[in-house]
C-alpha cells in the first residue's frame, strides 16, 4: 500500500505472522534513477534517489525472502531493467494492474494494463524470461465475469507464478462489497495460486483471513486496509491492543530511521476515529520523530538512537544534496550510504565561497514549522524586527534551487548567512537561513535550536570548530549499535527514510 508498505510496517506484519509482505507500489522510473547502497549502520540496503538523496526503497535481511516488490509500469524495458536491478534484494516482483487512479491510467499503468492485454502480457513475459525470482501480478475483476476469467488465463500463460485478484471492478470503491464469487471463479479456472484480495471489511483477526480465502476458494489472501488499521491481526493468538501495535511500529520506525512524515501518516491511519482524541491532536501537531515518540513515551529511546546514528554518520535528510549520489562522484567522497557531499559538490561550494563578495557563515539548521506556533515568532519576522530596532537595512534573500531542493543565502549587516540544509521549498529555505543569521546575531540560542530539533548536537571535535557544515566520513556501524533485529518486545535500541516534506529528526 502506497505510503503504508514501507520497511517498518512490512517488518511489523512479518513479526505478527504474515507470510509475505508487499512493498508499496513504486513506479519504475523512480527505481531506475535510484542508486543501490549498503547502509552498515542501519543494516539495510537502500535505493536512494540520485536527484535529492531521499530513500525510494529500503530493505533488510530479515525480509529478504518474504518481500515482494510491487512496481507500477507500462514499459517492458523499464520493468525488466528494474527487476534485474532489484532481484538480488527481494523475493518476487509484482506488477500492479489494479490501480484505478488517474495518474496510473494516464501513464498506461495499473488498471490500464487490463485493457491493453498485449502490453500487459509483454511486460510479464519480459520479466519472467529475464529474472530468476518469481513474477506475479495483481488485477481487479472486470464487469463481466467470463472476461475476467479469460483475462486471468491469458496472464497465467505468460509464466507468472501467482496472481492477486482484488474482487472489485475499476469503478468500484472500497465501500462496495467484494465479489468473492468472481475471485472463486478465477481461482477454479487457473492452475497457479490465486491470492484473494478485498476482504478487509470482514477482517479483524487471522481467522477472518483464513475464512475469506476459503470463501474465495484460494489458498492465500492479501490484506490491505485491515492490516493498516491494526497490523497485529496476523497473530495466531489474536490481535493486540492498538496502543501496543503503535508503540512497536514507532520503535521499528526509529530503528530503521523511517521518515517522520511517513511514520506520522501510518500512525494516523491506525488511529482512525481517534484522530480527534487528545493523543490524535498531539500527533497532528507533531513534525519530528522525537515529537511522535514523546506521545508514546518513547522519547528517550528516540533521542538515544538518533544520537547514536548521528555519531555513526547518519544524517538522514540533513545529508541530502542535489545530485549527491551520481555514480562517478560516489566513489570519491560519498560513504556507503551516499550521505555526504560529493567531491564535485564540495569543490563547487568552496569555489563559491572563495569568489563570494562577503564571508559566508553557515550551519546545518532546518526549519521546523511546528516550532513556531505564532507567525510573529517566525525567523524571517524576527530578523526583520531586529533590523528595524537596530536601524539596519533589511536582510536580502537569495534562493538557489537545484533539482528539487532549495537553499537560501541572506546578506545582512555586511555578512552572508546560509543553512547547509537543503529544504524542499523556497519558503522553508529562507526561514532556515534566517535561523542561521539569528543564531550568529545571538537572537537564537544554539541550545534551544538543538532542543527543538532544528540543529543536531555536535560531536566534540566539530563543536570546538563551531562549523557543522555536513561533511561526514563513512557510515560504518560503531560497536555500540546493534544492527540485528531486536527481539520482539524489547523495543529500546533501534531508527530511516527520507521523503518529501520531511524534517530530519
Ligand X SMILES: Cc1cc2nc3c(=O)[nH]c(=O)nc-3n(C[C@H](O)[C@H](O)[C@H](O)COP(=O)(O)O)c2cc1C
Interface with ligand X by CB under 6 A: which residues?
Answer: 1-2, 4, 24-25, 70, 96, 98-99, 138, 166, 174, 197-200, 223-226
Q: Shortest Cβ distance from residue 89 to ligand X (Å)?
A: 18
Distance in angstroms (rounded) separating the CA atoms of residues 394 and 387: 6
The length of the chain is 505
Q: Shortest Cβ distance from residue 274 to ligand X (Å)?
A: 18
Distance in angstroms (rounded) separating the CA atoms of residues 32 and 85: 8
Shorter beta-carbon distance to ligand X: residue 3 or 344: 3
Q: Which residues are bridge partners to 235 per DSSP?
A: none
C-alpha cell at 297: 513515551
Shorter beta-carbon distance to ligand X: residue 221 or 252: 221
Is residue 242 within 8 Å of 250, Cβ to Cβ?
Answer: no
Q: Shortest Cβ distance from residue 201 to ligand X (Å)?
A: 6
DSSP state at residue 206: H
Shorter beta-carbon distance to ligand X: residue 4 or 302: 4
Residue 184: strand, helix, or coil: helix
Shorter beta-carbon distance to ligand X: residue 45 or 224: 224
Q: Shortest Cβ distance from residue 212 to ligand X (Å)?
A: 9
Shorter beta-carbon distance to ligand X: residue 138 or 380: 138
Q: Shortest Cβ distance from residue 244 to ligand X (Å)?
A: 22
Q: Shortest Cβ distance from residue 165 to ligand X (Å)?
A: 10
Of the residues 60, 99, 293, 437, which is catalytic?
99
The number of C-alpha atoms within 13 Å of 364 and in the hemisphere containing its C-beta is 23
Q: Shortest Cβ distance from residue 110 to ligand X (Å)?
A: 8
Q: Shortest Cβ distance from residue 188 to ligand X (Å)?
A: 21
Burial class (CB in 10 A: 0-12, 13-18, 19+), 373: exposed
Following CA atoms 64, 68, 72, 78 in sequence, which dihedral angle do they give, to the nearest 10 degrees? 50
Is residue 498 within 8 Å of 316, Cβ to Cβ?
Answer: yes
C-alpha distances (whole Å) from 190 to each of 148, 216, 245, 256 are 12, 13, 37, 40
**In terms of DSSP H, where are the helices of 145-298?**
145-156, 180-189, 206-215, 225-229, 242-255, 260-271, 278-285, 289-295
Best CA proximity match to 309, nearest among 120, 496, 81, 121: 496
Residue-wise DSSP of 467-489 = ------------TT---SPPPTT
Best CA proximity match to 292, nearest among 270, 264, 312, 273: 264
Q: Which residue has the cell 518481500?
A: 67
Residue 48: strand, helix, or coil: strand
Q: Is 99 a catalytic residue?
A: yes
Return the sign of the alpha-carbon dihedral for residues 53, 57, 59, 64: negative
Shorter beta-carbon distance to ligand X: residue 138 or 317: 138
Residues catalogued as catalytic: 99
Amino acid at each position: 500500500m502506497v505510503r503504508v508498505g514501507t520497511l517498518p510496517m512490512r517488518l511489523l506484519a512479518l513479526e505478527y505472522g504474515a507470510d509475505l509482505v508487499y512493498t508499496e507500489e513504486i513506479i519504475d522510473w523512480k527505481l531506475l534513477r535510484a542508486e543501490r547502497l549498503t547502509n552498515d549502520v542501519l543494516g539495510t540496503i537502500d535505493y536512494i534517489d540520485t536527484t535529492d538523496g531521499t530513500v525510494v526503497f529500503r530493505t533488510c535481511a530479515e525480509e529478504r525472502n518474504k518481500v515482494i516488490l510491487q512496481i507500477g509500469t507500462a514499459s517492458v524495458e523499464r520493468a525488466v531493467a528494474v527487476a534485474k536491478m532489484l532481484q538480488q534484494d527481494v523475493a518476487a516482483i509484482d506488477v500492479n494492474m489494479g490501480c484505478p487512479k488517474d495518474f496510473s491510467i494516464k501513464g498506461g499503468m495499473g488498471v490500464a494494463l487490463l485493457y491493453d492485454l498485449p502490453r500487459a502480457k509483454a511486460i510479464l513475459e519480459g520479466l519472467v524470461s529475464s529474472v530468476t525470482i518469481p513474477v506475479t501480478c495483481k488485477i481487479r475483476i472486470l464487469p463481466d465475469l467470463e472476461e475476467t476469467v479469460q483475462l486471468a488465463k491469458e496472464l497465467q500463460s505468460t509464466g507468472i507464478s501467482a496472481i492477486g485478484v482484488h474482487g472489485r471492478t475499476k469503478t468500484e470503491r472500497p465501500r462496495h462489497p467484494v465479489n468473492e464469487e468472481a475471485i472463486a471463479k478465477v481461482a477454479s479456472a487457473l492452475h497457479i495460486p490465486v491470492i484473494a484480495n478485498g476482504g478487509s471489511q470482514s477482517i479483524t483477526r487471522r481467522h477472518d483471513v483464513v475464512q475469506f480465502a476459503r470463501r474465495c476458494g484460494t489458498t492465500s489472501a492479501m490484506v490491505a486496509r485491515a492490516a493498516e488499521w491494526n497490523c497485529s491481526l496476523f497473530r495466531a493468538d489474536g490481535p493486540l491492543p492498538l496502543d501496543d501495535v503503535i508503540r512497536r511500529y514507532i520503535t521499528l520506525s526509529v530503528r530503521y530511521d523511517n521518515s517522520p512524515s511517513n511514520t506520522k501518516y501510518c500512525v494516523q491511519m491506525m488511529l482512525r476515529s481517534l484522530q480527534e482524541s487528545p493523543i490524535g491532536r498531539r500527533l497532528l501537531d507533531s513534525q519530528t520523530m522525537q515529537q511522535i515518540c514523546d506521545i508514546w513515551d518513547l522519547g528517550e529511546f528516540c533521542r538515544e538512537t538518533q544520537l547514536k546514528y548521528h555519531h555513526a554518520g547518519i544524517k538522514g535528510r540533513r545529508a541530502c544534496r542535489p545530485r549527491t549520489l551520481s555514480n562517478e562522484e560516489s566513489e570519491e567522497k560519498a560513504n556507503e550510504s551516499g550521505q555526504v557531499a560529493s567531491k564535485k559538490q564540495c569543490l563547487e561550494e568552496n569555489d563559491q565561497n572563495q569568489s563570494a563578495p562577503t564571508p559566508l557563515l553557515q550551519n546545518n539548521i532546518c526549519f521546523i514549522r511546528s516550532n513556531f506556533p505564532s507567525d510573529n515568532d517566525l525567523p524571517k519576522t524576527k530578523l526583520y524586527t531586529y533590523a528595524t530596532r537596530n536601524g539596519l537595512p533589511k536582510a536580502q534573500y537569495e534562493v538557489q534551487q537545484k533539482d528539487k531542493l532549495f537553499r537560501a543565502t541572506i546578506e545582512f549587516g555586511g555578512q552572508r548567512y546560509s543553512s547547509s540544509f537543503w529544504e524542499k521549498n523556497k519558503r522553508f529555505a529562507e526561514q532556515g537561513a534566517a535561523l542561521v543569521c539569528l543564531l550568529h546575531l545571538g537572537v537564537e540560542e544554539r541550545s534551544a535550536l538543538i532542543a527543538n530539533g532544528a540543529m543536531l548536537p555536535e560531536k566534540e571535535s566539530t563543536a570546538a570548530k563551531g562549523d557543522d557544515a555536513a561533511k561526514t566520513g563513512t557510515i560504518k556501524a560503531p560497536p555500540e549499535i546493534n544492527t540485528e533485529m531486536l527481539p520482539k518486545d524489547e523495543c529500546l535500541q533501534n531508527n530511516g527514510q527520507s521523503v518529501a516534506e520531511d524534517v530530519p529528526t
